[in-house]
Amino acid sequence: MEPIYIPRLTKLPDGTETIEFKEFFQDLETLTPVQGVCRVTHKGNFLETAVKADTIITLCCDRCLQQYNHRLSVETAEFLWLTDGEAIDPEEIPLDEDLIIEEMVETLPKDGTFDVGSWIYEQLCLELPQRKLCSADCGGITLSPSQTEQPDARWSALEALRGQLPN
């Protein structure tokens, strides 16, 4: 996806560019291409961005460690403030200090570009589930009866140590 030159948006009808896409993102492993629509509107001193997209990804269940397919959908909007100077370099943000809420906004230079592909990728990454479960009733890893009857010999040294410790 080509970045959008921000001053060009002001010359478009309603200052809006709508991009329909169906493509794979390099750093996001998906089974199907990410497809959707992104709308970027120039509103004077900020850009209003909105995206609706979906794809299918393969995840690994946190309980049973089996792989499963998950539909990843995103429908979000965000304001990106335009500044006269350069955009804030993420490397310059002090990580050891508390930030004021007014400082926690994303900015772009008025005469710069907006990388639509990176923005969509970030929105998809934010929608990835924190807790990956193949189903709500996933029972976890199933052990065969032989695994539960005989203890693993590698734990024998710890078992001997446990016998020496007071309760």
Chain segment 93-112, per-residue pLDDT in tens: 666 666 565 555 788 899 99
- pLDDT of 29 strictly over 70: yes
Half-sphere exposure of 139 (CA within 13 A, CB side): 2
Q: Which sequence spans correspond to the domains of the chain?
A: 4-139
pLDDT digits (tens, 9 = 90+) for 109-137: 999 999 999 999 999 999 999 999 999 99
